Structure 1
Amino acid sequence: MAVIGAGNMGGAMAARLCEQGWPVVVCDIDPLRQQQALAAGAELADSPDTAARALSADGVLIVCVVDAAQSHAVLFGPDGAVAAMRPGQAVMLCPTIAPQDAEALAAALAERGIGCIDAPMSGGPVRARDGSMSLMLAAPQALLARHAELLQALSGRRFVISERAGDGARTKLVNNLLAGINLVGAAEVMALAERLGLDLPTTLDVIEQSSGQSWIGSDRMRRAIAGDFEPRAHVTLLEKDTRLAVQAAQAAGFDGPLGARAAEAFAQAHAAGLADRDDAALLLWLRQRGG
């Protein structure tokens, strides 16, 4: 197997596969990520095409970069992986991207006889590391069956959406739009609770056992209350994902009341200087915004 992009999620996936006994080659431009991959037991490649050359005849190249532009670059750009790939191999496309980008990449790979598993993920680095993250899979059944062992090693929660590339991306955008809405709501009510003079840990205790509970709200607000804003998922990630989800909604002729507002909140938090902080920093932004 080869993993292109060994950041929080890709690095956790690579470490998981190494632990499970899979031979893994990792390509990442960050020296720290390279050292982490080496420590986990992976081999290093200095470019995507070098990583692809290490694949077996039916090997899978896992792309775990940030967006569609990076995905296209590592596959089809200079030193891109596809130039070194052979018919019968496959690409597992994990970033959160627009459905039309997933479709276009899958079509370009199909022209070369390379399979594509549209496979966005959810759950965060801890769950990626222990194999309990979710995968939203859109690919031909035969391709999924061929790589069932790999998919099982990576995820205990695999949802087969359809055989149509792009449907994994659509499902991920729907999920992440709700995550963004829930996170903005959680940060708003915690900022309000603080303004009302309530104890934040106690308030969150109540919410977690009541109708306002959400996983992302609990996860992020616990960290925010503790003053921990070290990035696990940067503000820019949900900014991108909510923006893509709203664009997909617009393309489908759907105008909901909350999605665009959530996307705007992440964009404003970015503009306020919080782009490189953990998305729990929405609480900081709402504290500033509330005066």
Structure 2
Amino acid sequence: MPLSPKTVSIIGIGNMGGAMAANLLSRGWAVQVCDIDPAKVGDLQEKGALALAVPAQAAINSVAFVVCVVDAAQTDAVLFGPDGLACMLQPGHTVMLCPTISPQDVEAVAGRLAALGVHTVDAPMSGGPARARDGSMSLMVACAPAVYEQQAGLLQALSGKVFRISDQPGDGARTKLVNNLLAGINLVGAAEVLALAARLGLDPGRTLDVIEQSSGQSWIGSDRMRRAIAGDYAPRAHVTLLEKDTRLAVEAARAAGFEGPLGARASQVFADAHQAGLAALDDAAIFKYLQDR
């Protein structure tokens, strides 16, 4: 696959990264991918992506290098590890950070990259794989104005909902943690009331029909609880992801001197579900955890 001015490298092609890569390929971008799972790489090769064995093989003339791994440790490894991107990045290159990690970790990464003359786009995402695939997911972007303009084409290709948060990397992460804490609270609340409905002898599906047209509606509640009612716990977003995200959000809140009534409790529910053996399931399994109590 010849490199072009629209070449982008994506490191980490799980549910979200893989969907982003498929979206870009469908829009005519040249996409290079790297992941520890050969099957995921093979699937995207069939769609036209170029496979990289290690992040350091990413093309020097990529428009941007998108990091779409799970956590801060993986982010550090793919950037600064033995086969990481940092060994080939040149001044003027741009790294886009999409994982949900702490604002402090984003700021630390941005500082290390800035020392190399490399720009950072703090761009956590939200909406799930289906929305990432069709380009309708949300991106919460924090970066310097000139970098934002430079990467506008890529950002618009990835997302029809690009929110310009600020000029300071780290603020995207803060926004994502606020959002995901509410997502976690809403999911635990939806799972709790439907588990209660079942205990009261109500039909959970019919109850959810009512909720979806009434004041209790939430997107994540509907999305996850429809799957839960059907007994479908195949992982789209593992329990461990919202466990991590809500924990980071609560830590950020405490660091800011804020203690709310719901966030820490919701976060503990995800941790408890993990300990109950549900870590590898979709986070819809919070319903199963509460129903079985």
Normalized against structure 2, the TM-score is what? 0.97
1:24 match: secondary structure: strand
Matches within 5 A, 1:43-192: 43-51=50-58, 54-56=59-61, 59-192=63-196
Q: Distance in 2 between matches of 1:176 and 1:19?
A: 29
Q: Aligned AA for 2:75? A: S
Q: Aligned AA for 2:191? A: A
Q: Distance in 1 between matches of 2:269 and 2:169?
A: 30
Q: Aligned AA for 2:162? A: R
CA displacement at 1:190 relative to structure 2: 0.4
Match of 1:221 among 214, 225, 228: 225
CA displacement at 1:251 relative to structure 2: 0.2
RMSD: 0.7
2:92 match: secondary structure: coil
Match of 2:236 among 219, 226, 232: 232
1:13 is aligned to 20
Unpaired segments of 5 or more residues in structure 2? Answer: 1-7
Unpaired segments of 5 or more residues in structure 1? Answer: none
CA displacement at 1:59 relative to structure 2: 2.2
The CA deviation string for residues 244-278 of structure 1, in whole angstroms up to 9 with x for no partner, is 00000000000000000000000000000000000
- Is residue 34 of structure 2 the alignment partner of residue 27 of structure 1? yes
Q: Is the 8 A contact 2:60 2:88 kept in 1?
A: no
Q: Distance in 2 between matches of 1:39 and 1:119?
A: 27
Q: Aligned AA for 1:118? A: D
Q: Is the 8 A contact 1:16 1:131 kept in 2?
A: yes
CA displacement at 1:32 relative to structure 2: 1.3
Q: Is the 8 A contact 1:15 1:41 kept in 2?
A: no
Q: Aligned AA for 1:205? A: D
1:271 is aligned to 275
The CA deviation string for residues 166-217 of structure 1, in whole angstroms up to 9 with x for no partner, is 0000000000000000000000000000000001111000000000000000
CA displacement at 1:55 relative to structure 2: 3.3
Q: Is the 8 A contact 1:106 1:116 kept in 2?
A: yes
Q: Distance in 1 between matches of 2:25 and 2:114?
A: 29
Q: Distance in 1 between matches of 2:187 and 2:137?
A: 19
1:212 is aligned to 216
Normalized against structure 1, the TM-score is what? 0.97
Which segments of structure 1 move beyond 6 Å, counting only runs of 4 or more?
none
2:4 is aligned to none
CA displacement at 1:40 relative to structure 2: 2.0
Q: Distance in 1 between matches of 2:12 and 2:112?
A: 21
Q: Identity percentage over the alignment?
A: 67
Q: Is the 8 A contact 1:2 1:55 kept in 2?
A: no
